[in-house]
Structure 1
Amino acid sequence: MSGIAAPDYDFASLSPYDFEVFVRDLLSAQDHLIYSTYRVGADGGIDLKAATEKGWVVAQCKHTPSADKGSLLRAARIEAGKAAGMGLAPVRYVFVTSAELTPGTERETQEALAGVADTVKVYGRGWLNAVLALHPEVERRHFKLWVSSTQAVRAMMQDGVFLRGESRIQRIERNYLRFVHHKTCEVAELALEEYGCVLLSGAPGAGKTTIAEYLLLLWWHRGFRVVVDPRTVDQWWAWLEDDTPTVFFFDDAWGQTHHQDHGSRHHDTDMSEFIESVVERQSSGTASKVLIMTSRVQVLQDTVRLSDASRRTVERLAHCHVPVERLPYDVRCRMLFNHVHLAVTDPQTRQDLSIGSWWQRVASHQNYSPRLIEIVVRRNGAKSAQELINNLEEALENPHEIWGASFRALPPVDQQLLLALSLMDSQLVLWQEVVRRLGSFPSPEFHVDAAVERLNGSWITKASHAGSQGLTVADPSQRDFLIRYLSISPGAMTAIIRNSVKFDDLIPVCRRGEAIELEVNLRLFSSGEDLFRSVLDTCARELLARLRDLWDLYACDAADLASGSFRELTSLVEALTLSVRFHGDRHAAPGAALPADWFGAALSRVTRLVDGLGMTSIEPLAELVTELAAAIESASPLWSASHSLLDPISQIRAVISHAWASHEPRIAHHQSTGYEADLAEALVQYANSLAGLGLGPSVDTYSPAEVDAYLARHLDDYDPDDVAEQIDSIEDVVGWNFTDTRERLSPLLDAEEEQTLSSPRRAPAVLPRPTPVVASPADTTASVAALFRSLGTSSTPGRT
């Protein structure tokens, strides 16, 4: 191979984060200490620290390859000024810069830091290269140092065999600087080191190929010939039998989108024999041939299921099989930074991207994948910061590019299983429940058990729950794709509707088809689109008839309720309210009218059930009424006054009023003591809902003065901003001024009034589109924030 010269790096190929990690690893190796990241100062400056018997050692990293003497001295003085805010007195302080230092500059920088610690050291580029020569393992790990030009990657290609040469080289050239090392890389490296083979499996876009290319570069740097994507069996054996140390790389080893899409009938047997030979060489002490493989989990499952030879081989590879799963939050952030840092060159765009927390929304999104980030940033061209941010968020909400081809390659039963599962509980669904919603398939080859096995680990995840097998869609972005597929597929949607078995099955379907202007809608996507509206208009007759049938089944079950089961009643009335709402939302579609006879019978059932409940506490009554009120209030807030279904909603409201009016006196008379205390607690919790329905406790069942005595204790923990409004709501419900409560809470009320007079409340901020957030440690957020702020002050890294 073309050897790499003795270390003489300018470190310009490293991002600020890469440089920090490099210095951490180099200092740890040189000092025989464990350095860890350490945030110092309110500005998010990033230090390293290590514990010794004598005290703390603190290091400050300054990635400034082209800095002059004046810049370094200014930076040193700033860091000296921060010393008091470190919260500790280090015994040793190390200032590390990637700049070239003269003896004079080194001395003056050290003088500028005098007093920060008992001992102060200043290290520059020359020291880093000299010490790096003593620690080749650190140099090998930080491959961005030595793969610092397209010439280096091309040299690897010339030394090796790339049967899909140019495309692979272009990919490595494009991505090596964007790479972020993480735990899975270490696991894969150890597996390859120990067993001579590693199998990386994961979903499309998870980053398994990137890890494989990282390993490829490491072994090339050790002097191994690189053989990538070989497709001719005779060549495999020739390279395996010669004397040249070789690293083989089979990307998508058994097919890219489905089993055997490589077109060879004998591929599985040949591949198995080759893998067995590599593993046997390693176990016999011959470590000159190593093998890296990747496979999509779905393809791997199909291969194992359909090929005995592959199954035996994969079973033998269990100890070197490394799943590539969801990346930690900080790794996702740093990958995103690297992509942006390298792709965006316009100074104004970089400055705009350095502001705000947009990167947190992107990195914490459940649909984040390295491939999506790579595709979007590469295609965007970064015409403006906002355009890039918008493109990233839109891609995360609509990740078609990853899942479409894979889904369309599945058999029909697999597709229907996934579509049904996508609309069910995103956590875990019992296998039997999914099967009930699949209907029947005419051919015996489409067996559900086989479908589950084909999909397990790729599209779905299996788990055991209470002795039964549960299923869930493996990745949130897959669920997004499936939902969108349903939105443009009336046939698939009709099958979902007909195969539903409970009223709750259709709630997520209907909610995603509600009008866009209903702001209270619960929807899977946060982009404000009425995703299912068009397809449900097409299927309206089937949908609404099935809703009514399923509500009837629900009501029959509810008729057997034991006395006091108000929660089931709440669910039943909420389902009826939703049924009215969903009919109203489809009112313009053919066959969408609400049958008057059906609704009348349904309302009679509810009334009988309400009358049959024997509630003995004000709390469940208030809870029942307020939950039903919420259902009604959200039913159709923007329906016109002449809408045909406003009257049914009013009738349901009357049933709720009846529930309060008939039960509250009974509850009051049932309790000999403590009624006012219970009522005070219920009013604090449910006043807004009761006021919305125009409900309140009967005047002859309680003493307002006694309720007044209990209110303050329940309101004492309220936010001062809310307590006055809450008292107003309670007084509206009861029709009584609670002077004692206001007097006791006067400090809170006075503080709120003073705030209102001294500074008008700020207008509510426009909230960003909600995305699921994965919690991150504060120090991780702070250190990554510093990286993104650096976009406004740093340029893209140069190449040597």
Structure 2
Amino acid sequence: MRNFSVLSDVEFEELTGDLLGAEFNALVERFASGADGGIDLRWRINGQTLIGQCKHYTKSSFSQLLKSAEKEVAKLLKLNPAGYKFITSFDLSPLQKEKIYTLFSDWMSSPIDVLGGKDIDALITRHEAVERRHPKLWVSTGLQLFWAVHADIANRTSALKSRIERSMPKYVVHSGYQDARAVLETRNVCLISGPPGIGKTTLAQMLLAEHISMGYEPVVVSEDINEAWHSITHNTRQIFIYDDFLGEIAFFERMAKNEDKRLVDLIEKISSGSSKKLVLTTREYILRDAKKVYERLDHLDNRLNFLLELHAYSRTDRARILYNHLWHADISSTCLREIGIGGYKQIVDHKGYNPRLIEYCTGGAFDVESSGYPDRFKATLDHPERIWRAAFDKHLLEEHRLLTLVLCTLPRKADLDDLREAYVSLCSRAGISNAGRSFRDALEVLEGTFITIGRNEEGKPAVSHANPSVTEFCLARIESDGELLRNIIESAVFFEQLSTMFKHGDGAGFFSGGRLGQRSRLSLLSAINAERDLLLTAMKRTFKSRSPEREMVWQAGRGNFVTEPPGKFERRVNFSFQRLGKWKMDASAIEAEVAFIIGRWEKREGGKEDALKLIEEIESSSLTSTVSEQALHALDSWLDSTLSETEDWIHYAEFASRWGGLGPDTGAQFDRFMNEEFSRWSPHPPDLEKMKDIADDLGLDDLVNRIDEALEEESREPDDDYHREASSEVESSIHEVTEGELAELFGRLSSD
């Protein structure tokens, strides 16, 4: 049976009205609760008036449903219709139908006029066109079928599955959804941008859910666009989602070296194919800033026109979003009654209306029990920053606050053990003992409000801030508290805690719905730079620490696996060079660290991509020529002696193009390598375009022709033979809701 629980009572009535209209070929009128005198639906057949009553009771007991039905009898005695149908989403047994029929037998021909969940399900099957007008219903049904058939994918993407299932019932299909799906349909790529909290992620998840229900395999890209490249399969319909692809609050969080090129390459590949889709989300201001730095992003956007701006919701959308959240939430009857008798007016038209705030104020972290609910709701919309400030200062112990704050210094998804180590160290520095024992308690207190606990790419527990606004609040708190900042620096157990704080200072963006201006950004960076001596000491102390960061790495014979960044030490030295430059200090201050790196290169250890970036810093630094020569020789020897994978050749070719050219015997070696690759991969090896460039540089014409043939074959992707009609019948709101309609809608919440 279809999943009616994703619908609100209003949506269930709309569905039922459409179904009865199709079944009887009649116009079915709908009436609001409270103004109908017992009528939800009314239609005429052969000159006679029939009425229907809808009861959306998926989570209630039959005794509750029967009690509610008994109240309708008195209304029917006054109306005395020619016919009556009682419709419920509750899955009724024959005996239960008989009990309801007994109540209404004077107006029903038989128990067949009592329609339960299975009867509605059968009507939907008979009238598929009606189902197409209710995308939440058919998408949720398609999802259930997909997860049931593909249990392995359901397990692998369990976190995504849970997020979609939580968000779908509250979702309102609005014009932005129609615009986004049209872009995705025509371009295969949709980039959703907009202000914080506007609903970008939820919209992306709905697009994803729709395509999963159509048979597309979902692929979640969480850290790096390489995850998408390694997950592409030639003969499978796939949809990729890359949420906050430029970072949550600043694009430094995402864009690694050359990632903009890899992203553009992927977009071009997917946009020109037929069996792949890609959905990306980002804050509008981050996209604007990133396009100033990454020319490829700006060029691609203008050329392919896949950008979608999410602007303000219509009044109808805002009302329905608020209603759906209230209807599906666990809110006291007192609070609902206050909203229903007029409290909604303070919310629907509020200038600070924001779907994220609507979700917060209807959730468990908010007071949804006591009287005064609309006023509390409005106060939150008036001053959204108070959400975190009041809870942070009044309701958290100091150790709870420190755990929330130290998350700013760790990766977006912090490993549980890494977080514990950083937390205990910061607490110790702040004079709080036994923090290790209170760690679990602190997590329990904070989860659901300031933090969320999920799983990382390895399937291990990972902790992150509940949303970017928490991060922004914490950064503002650190910037304003010098002692706290010094404690964070001196307690750092990972080098990356220090580099991350600098990046936040360089790239902080929005805070609590309003932009942190350049002055505030510089204020944070200035506060960090003022502690230069402490930072230098902490950088040296933590240089050889393990890294809290994780990367998806591919290796022949092993496949994809998650590990510390292979180039973590190269990144640390690179960061040190940048800081010394800003502080106008001599590079000799990190000569020992550079020597350590050279020693690793001589032992064939490190990250090649990061090494190529570092060698440029070493060459342009004030270090002695001897150190530079040692570094060049060590890196050349390492790259030349480890040419076993595609990426090895790419890195070696990049190095050689800048520092001396490919060796005389390299051509034959590369030709043998590619022959082995063609025999090892099916249908073709990866990164053929780059391999072609190397073959061209080496003058290997036959190999170039072979690669061209493979690229031509690869471009002929299989047609998408599974096509489901678009939800074209779902129209965006042209009619704006009136005051009377608003009163009728929210009046449902205060009715018995």
TM, length-normalised to structure 2: 0.47
TM, length-normalised to structure 1: 0.44
Q: Which has the larger radius of gyration?
A: 1
